[in-house]
């Protein structure tokens, strides 16, 4: 990390933190959404970007976090913080119990097994009485967007610091080794099962916290929205668009894609979603290693960067 | 007992349709190593092609299936040749993402072009049924089941005995060796994807005769096709029949005995179990 970068990041952070004081209500609300998505993208970055396991099940953690808060606050009348802890606990239990069998699978199989888990969770939760079945739960409202905004930002800082720690710790190197060559990592003495489950759980903790904050903010959750599978795909696209396996890439991806899609849905409502799909397709073809990689290399190679990417991956 | 028999029959009839849905996905996955997340969206498009043929040109949905298949083949060939061939050597994850992007685009285009209304393909014989002992066999479902089995077995024979089928299987086994023997991969990949999409289109046409269609049916059909491909394994098209029947019966039984909302839990629960216990499918070789 160059000497210039730390002050730049701090300034950006200060500007982000000050948004509620100079921005409009709409901007703050957009900010809460975008920051929570950035947290999800970063959470996915731990298991998908660093460990190389393409989880399509992170929305389960998000849903468990939402339901942890909702159940604690509505059914048991406990404070918000206890709900967050409860949600995190549920996520960690889920990550350990299901992570051990599912993380044995590789590649497509892992991706699909996690996708199936997300589907199963939606259906199970719609039948649990404590969780309000398929009607959902209504939380007590709290009109304090400032608090939600700052806590979302704090969460994003926490997950980013965790990833920064990963990028220089023994644990993080173990994860990268698993991504690059799992057998090799095992031979070198990495306890691959333990590392993978820990990465899955860590990814789950942050996703659950994001889900908890979101649930309290929107004050209503139901199984369909809490375990929304498209949310999963969204966080992956944001992470991959920005640059998976980098410290700041997923944040850049999440904030820029959120801004684009917000701008489009206010300007040309009907084709905003269409544009999102086209961006994904174009990004995979033209910049498959993400925005971070493109910015780094574009200066050297110019427009040839895109042609080279196509040449590297085409038949 | 009669109820159970009826449920089992319903499950089997549904399962045949499921088999065709998964057939194209399994073919593309096995040969191109692309898990096509847009597969369900192509099924949806096929259903709309069939619906247009029936509503505006009054072509019987079953007789119109070849037309639907040809149209969808062209779409699939062009998509592979023009777009997916550019990324086939990219990491697995990027192929997942691009097909997801295609899914989003197709769903939106369908919504713009066809509106979000529910459509059904209702030929005059849609309500007819046979009484067979204690169980009822609806004609449309029976026809769909029969065509599904014919398509699946036909696909199996095609892969075993035709030149193109052999080239496809050779490419699936070893691209470099197939190339040395004169297979032109860009064309062959496009042919394979085209066939996969044609099958998806045919499945869509059949689906339209037994169920309602709208632009959003794609995602859940993709998920089911996955489950079936994995349960049946990718090596053999006949495995897909087993997977389809298995899923159809499990879903029907779960809907009856545990409750309709649990049908999906049962099917995806089975999928996760199969993945964990036998990652190469129930019929596949052990990993």
Higher pLDDT, B53 or B31: B53
Query: Does the pLDDT of residue A249 top 70, yes or no?
Result: yes
- Residue A162 included in any domain: yes
- Residue A18 included in any domain: no
Q: Using the beta-carbon criterion (under 8 Å), do A313 and B230 form an inter-chain contact?
A: no
Higher pLDDT, B217 or A1: B217
Which residues 6+ apart lie within 8 Å of A231 measured at CB?
A40, A59, A62
> How much is the pLDDT for A268?
65
Measure the CA–CA gap between B12 and A264, rounded to whole angstroms.
Answer: 46
Separation in Å, CA of B114 to nearest CA in chain A: 14
Measure the CA–CA gap between A17 and B129, rounded to whole angstroms.
Answer: 67
pLDDT tens column, A267-314: 666 676 787 788 888 888 888 877 777 877 877 777 777 887 787 777
Positive or negative torsion for Cα B57, B61, B63, B67: positive
Q: Are B232 and B67 in contact (CB under 8 A)?
A: no
Q: Using the beta-carbon criterion (under 8 Å), do B96 and A111 form an inter-chain contact?
A: yes
Q: Which residue has the tokens 């953690």?
A: A61
Q: Using the beta-carbon criterion (under 8 Å), do A277 and B96 form an inter-chain contact?
A: no
- Residue A160 included in any domain: yes
Q: Which residue has the tokens 């990814």?
A: A203
Angstrom CA distances, A107 to A39, A188, A229, B18, B151, stand at 24, 22, 19, 24, 30
Query: Does the pLDDT of residue B43 top 60, yes or no?
Result: yes
Q: In 3D, which of A277, A242, A270 has the Cα closest to residue A256?
A: A242
- Residue A235 included in any domain: no
Model-level pTM? 0.83
Q: Are B206 and B97 in contact (CB under 8 A)?
A: no
pLDDT confidence tier of residue B287, bands split at 50, 70 and 90? very low
- Residue A152 included in any domain: yes
Domain count within chain A:
1
pLDDT tens column, A211-226: 999 999 988 888 878 8
Separation in Å, CA of A24 to nearest CA in chain B: 31
Measure the CA–CA gap between A281 and B86, rounded to whole angstroms.
Answer: 11
Separation in Å, CA of B152 to nearest CA in chain A: 24
Range of the domain at A150: 24-228
> How much is the pLDDT for B41?
94
Q: Write the secondary structure of chain A as one string of H (helix), E (strand) and C (coil).
A: CCCCHHHHHHHHHHHHHHHHHHCCHHHHHHHHHHHHHHHHHHHHHHHHHHCCCCCCCHHHHHHHHHHHHHHHHHHCCCCHHHHHHHHHHHHHHHHHHHHHHHCCCCHHHHHHHHHHHHHHHHHHHCCCCCCCCCCCEECCCCCCHHHHHHHHHHHHHHHHHHHHHHCCCHHHHHHHHHHHCHHHHHHCCCCHHHHHHHHHHHHHHHHHHHHHHHHHHHCEECHHHHCCHHHHHHHHHHHHHHCCCCCCHHHHHHHHHHHHHHHHHHHCHHHHHHHHHHHHHHHHHHCCCHHHHHHHHHHHHCCHHHHHHHHHHCC
pLDDT tens column, A171-209: 999 999 999 888 889 898 888 889 999 999 999 999 999
- Please tell me which residue of chain A has the smallest CA distance to B220: A119
Separation in Å, CA of B50 to nearest CA in chain A: 24
Closest in B90, B227, B259 to A116, CB measured: B227
Q: What is the DSSP letter of B124?
A: G
Total residue length of chain A: 315
Separation in Å, CA of B265 to nearest CA in chain A: 5
pLDDT confidence tier of residue A110, bands split at 50, 70 and 90? confident
Measure the CA–CA gap between A116 and A112, rounded to whole angstroms.
Answer: 6
- Residue A154 included in any domain: yes
A positions 10-69 inside 8 Å of B (CB): 48, 54
Closest in B87, B230, B276 to A102, CB measured: B276
Q: Using the beta-carbon criterion (under 8 Å), do A313 and B259 form an inter-chain contact?
A: no
Q: Which residues of A touch B189 (CB under 8 A)?
A: 315
- Please tell me which residue of chain B has the smallest CA distance to A48: B93
Cα distance between the two ends of chain B:
39
- Residue A276 included in any domain: no
Closest in A117, A280, A284 to B104, CB measured: A280
């Amino acid at each position: 990390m160059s000497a210039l970068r730390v002050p730049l990041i701090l300034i950006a952070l200060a500007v982000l933190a000050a948004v509620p004081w100079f921005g409009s209500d709409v901007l703050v609300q957009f900010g809460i959404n975008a920051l929570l998505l950035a947290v999800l993208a970063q959470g996915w970055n731990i298991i998908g970007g660093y460990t190389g396991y393409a989880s399509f099940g992170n929305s389960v953690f998000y849903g468990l976090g939402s339901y942890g808060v909702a159940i604690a606050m509505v059914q048991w009348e406990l404070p918000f913080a206890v709900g967050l802890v409860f949600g995190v606990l549920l996520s960690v239990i889920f990550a350990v119990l299901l992570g051990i069998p599912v993380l044995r699978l590789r590649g497509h199989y892992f991706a699909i097994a996690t996708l199936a888990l997300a589907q199963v969770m939606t259906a199970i939760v719609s039948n649990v009485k404590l969780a309000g079945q398929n009607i959902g739960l209504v939380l007590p409202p709290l009109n304090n967007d400032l608090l939600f905004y700052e806590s979302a930002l704090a969460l994003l800082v926490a997950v980013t610091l965790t990833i920064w720690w990963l990028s220089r710790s023994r644990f993080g190197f173990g994860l990268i080794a698993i991504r690059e060559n799992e057998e090799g990592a095992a031979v070198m003495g990495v306890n691959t099962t333990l590392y993978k489950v820990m990465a899955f759980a860590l990814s789950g903790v942050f996703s659950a916290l994001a889900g908890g904050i979101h649930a309290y903010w929107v004050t209503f959750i139901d199984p369909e929205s809490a375990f929304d599978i498209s949310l999963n795909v969204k966080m992956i696209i944001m992470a991959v668009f920005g640059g998976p396996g980098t410290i700041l890439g997923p944040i850049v991806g999440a904030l820029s894609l959120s801004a684009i899609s917000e701008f489009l849905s206010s300007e040309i409502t009907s084709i905003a979603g269409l544009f999102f799909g086209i961006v994904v397709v174009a990004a995979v073809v033209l910049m498959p290693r993400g925005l971070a990689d493109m910015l780094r290399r574009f200066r050297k190679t110019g427009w040839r960067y895109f042609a080279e990417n196509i040449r590297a991956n085409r038949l | 007992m009669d109820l159970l028999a009826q449920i089992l029959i319903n499950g089997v009839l549904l399962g045949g349709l499921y088999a065709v849905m998964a057939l194209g996905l399994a073919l593309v996955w096995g040969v191109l190593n692309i898990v096509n997340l847009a597969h369900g969206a192509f099924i949806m498009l096929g259903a709309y092609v069939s619906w247009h043929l029936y509503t505006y040109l009054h072509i019987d949905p079953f007789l119109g299936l070849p037309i639907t298949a040809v149209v969808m083949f062209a779409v699939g060939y062009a998509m592979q040749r023009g777009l997916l061939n550019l990324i086939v050597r990219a990491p697995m994850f990027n192929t997942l993402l691009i097909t997801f992007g295609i899914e989003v685009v197709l769903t939106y285009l369908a919504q713009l072009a066809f509106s979000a209304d529910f459509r059904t393909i209702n030929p005059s014989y849609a309500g007819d049924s046979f009484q067979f002992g204690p169980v009822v066999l609806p004609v449309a479902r029976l026809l769909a089941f029969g065509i599904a089995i014919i398509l699946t077995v036909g696909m199996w024979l095609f892969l075993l005995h035709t030149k193109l089928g052999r080239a496809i299987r050779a490419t699936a086994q070893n691209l470099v060796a197939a190339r040395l023997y004169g297979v032109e991969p860009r064309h062959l990949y496009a042919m394979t994807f085209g066939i996969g999409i044609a099958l998806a289109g045919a499945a869509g046409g059949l689906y339209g005769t037994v169920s309602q269609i709208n632009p959003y049916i794609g995602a859940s059909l993709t998920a089911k096709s996955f489950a079936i491909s994995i349960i049946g394994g990718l090596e053999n098209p006949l495995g897909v029949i087993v997977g389809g029947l298995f899923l159809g019966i499990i879903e029907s039984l779960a809907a009856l005995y545990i409750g309709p909302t649990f049908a999906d839990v049962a099917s995806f629960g089975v999928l996760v179990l199969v993945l964990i216990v036998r990652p190469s499918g129930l019929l596949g070789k052990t990993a």
